[in-house]
Amino acid sequence: GKMIENDRVFMSNAMPESVTGGRMIANERVVMSKTIPESVVDKAVDSRPSCVVLMTIRNCAKFLGKIFANVEGLGKLFGDFGVVITFDNCEDKSESMILDYQKQSSYRVLVKNTNFRDNRRTVRIANGRNACLEIMEREFPATDFHIVLDADNVNSDGWKLSLLERYLADNR
């Protein structure tokens, strides 16, 4: 049977509750248990691939609301999902929007203020993306996919997630 203990899923050959008086015995320990909906247990042992979205942001506030909504939808396609965001020297509301998203997201969102001071935009973007990759490699070492996302008008329109969903289903 399956049971959840301390946010982990254990596979056990537990004795029936009728034999143990309402307790499940597993791994020579007595664990008080309650009925857990099968959907919760299934989610805990999700076999879908994992994914991390990487974003480098500077002065993109007018697009972030829609982009964050797209990212939240994207996360539903994966078993384990996270977001890594680096930002630097924002002169609009991007920084506060990023920090709000970090608090409100359904997923693990890691944020780093990189403070790169370079007049060359491409150097700042490259440094931000490299910082995202470093964080991803440290915090999400076994991820199956990562997506480097431009936080601009290109990704503020609605996404056709059905295309990605079909790809994932065909390539399991």
Span 70-113, pLDDT tens digits:
999 999 999 999 999 999 889 899 999 999 999 999 999 999 99
Instruction: Band the pLDDT of 172: cuts 50, 70, 90.
Output: confident
Count CB-CB contacts under 10 A for residue 59: 17
Bigger pLDDT: 51 or 47? 51
Contacts of 149 (CB under 8 A, 6+ apart): 53, 54, 55, 67, 71, 155
Q: How far apart are CA 122 and CA 84, in angstroms?
A: 19
66, 144 contact by CB (below 8 A) = no
> pTM of the prediction?
0.71
pLDDT on residue 44: 52
